[in-house]
A and B are shown apart, each in its own frame.
Chain A
């Protein structure tokens, strides 16, 4: 079983590989090559920073077609992390680029008027509340905590897509899913045993 961490010039890919190896995945590659992505059994779409920068990176690396083919047509399991989640939505308030549109959701800025004194970007740990059970959460106790770094969050009209929520100023959607597509706003690769569980669960799906 091979996992490819998609390299399009964004994010801390080595941390993800480190954690996957830590939980016992021998076959982990970091790659921006369409051929290697084509052969992967599972994909991780990471990323931090600006959405336009992310979409530009995917375009320049010629990855959009192969990703659509793998994820939409071939139903390869994919885990989006942070910007990876936001890229999967239809659009983001942050930039001009359209997203990949895999999830019926959009990305919006934190509402400055509802922050209750909390500063932005959201940078720190928060407990998540499960919206439903999912194999990704197997073995995690109640209210596990994860590390977040983001100024934008996703939102959707389709409540069936919501995996989990978290609170920062107000309740926001912290994870989405649809069939083979799973994506979280937080960084499992930097969230100690909680993140290790999620990475292990994804690897064992």
Chain B
């Protein structure tokens, strides 16, 4: 089995790294530059930086901070949060970031994906679909930090985003966020089965076996927040990342 990309996700708010549980109850983790330096040393496959503050406050991306973080990242980096127009995408990429993550803007106007993919290539455009089960147990697509609901199934949205030119999808389970109770493998498989582009699973990671199950369900990459920043039952903040030898062992055959 090929080892999937294993991607730490750093959530930013007010310039600091935070971590949520089901999109609420944010814990302060630390300084983003320091976190990225630690992830450099650990030779992580890739990092994703998402500014949840920019989304909540409808503010612009913090381009200076993005540039500083990208300047420290000697691995691929994606950035999301507050991007609403093509000019924002250009500025983020020019600041040293490989890939942008779109959500609300892409759902509102898939034409933005098409335009951005035309200019920067599909490989640099990721769409993140936040998916939450509603009262009836059905999957619903959300944006704006879980507040805004979108009609249509996640599969339909995934296909629409791929057709518009997205190069990759992050499928985030809102219900599993921060719980460390395991990925929603059913959801990840369901989306992976209907698109041809890579799916990055996010939400609930609890072990390398759990990541392997995600890969087996069809995901091309696995991302996580809490899994890489908390340690032990009391969720002490300690940044970690599996060693290469552990990954090779976990994903063999």
Contacts and interface: CB of A to CB of B under 8 A. Distances in A.
A118 B97 contact: no
A149 interface: yes
Given A125-B45, A190-B98, A192-B43, A15 B70 contact: yes
Interface stretch (B118-126, B144-152, B206-214): B118-126
Contact of B167 (A15, A121, A190, A196): A121
B131 interface: no
Contacts of A120: 196-197
Nearest to B2: A118
Nearest to A54: B121
Contact of A196 (B74, B98, B120): B74
B76 interface: yes
A30 B168 CA distance: 29
B121 A124 contact: no
Interface in B172-203: 196-198
Contact of B71 (A14, A121, A190): A14
Contact of A15 (B98, B124, B198): B98
Given A48-B123, A123-B167, A125-B5, A187 B76 contact: yes
A195 B75 CA distance: 10
A48 B122 CA distance: 10
A138 interface: no
Contacts of B75: 147, 190-192
Contacts of A49: 119-121, 123-124
Contact of A121 (B40, B118, B123): B123
Contacts of A118: 2
A119 B70 contact: no
A14 B123 contact: no
Contacts of B5: 123-125
A12 B74 contact: no
Interface in B5-61: 5, 40, 43, 45-46
Given A49-B120, A121-B123, A125-B45, A14 B221 contact: no
Interface in A87-119: 118-119
Contacts of A196: 74
A159 interface: no
A150 interface: yes
Interface string A167-188: 0000000000000000000010
A192 B74 contact: yes
Contacts of B94: 14
A18 B2 CA distance: 30
A191 B70 CA distance: 14
B124 A124 contact: no
B93 interface: yes
B103 interface: no
Interface string A47-67: 011100100000000000000
B198 A119 contact: yes
**Residue among B71, B121, B122 with max Cβ neighbours from chain A (10 Å):** B121
A-B residue pairs, 4 tightest by C-beta: A49-B121, A14-B96, A149-B123, A190-B76
6 contacts: A18-B70, A119-B197, A121-B167, A123-B168, A124-B5, A195-B74
Interface of B: 2-5, 40, 43, 45-46, 67, 70-71, 73-76, 93-98, 118-124, 167-168, 196-198, 220-221
Interface of A: 12, 14-15, 18-19, 22, 48-50, 53, 118-121, 123-125, 147, 149-151, 187, 189-193, 195-196
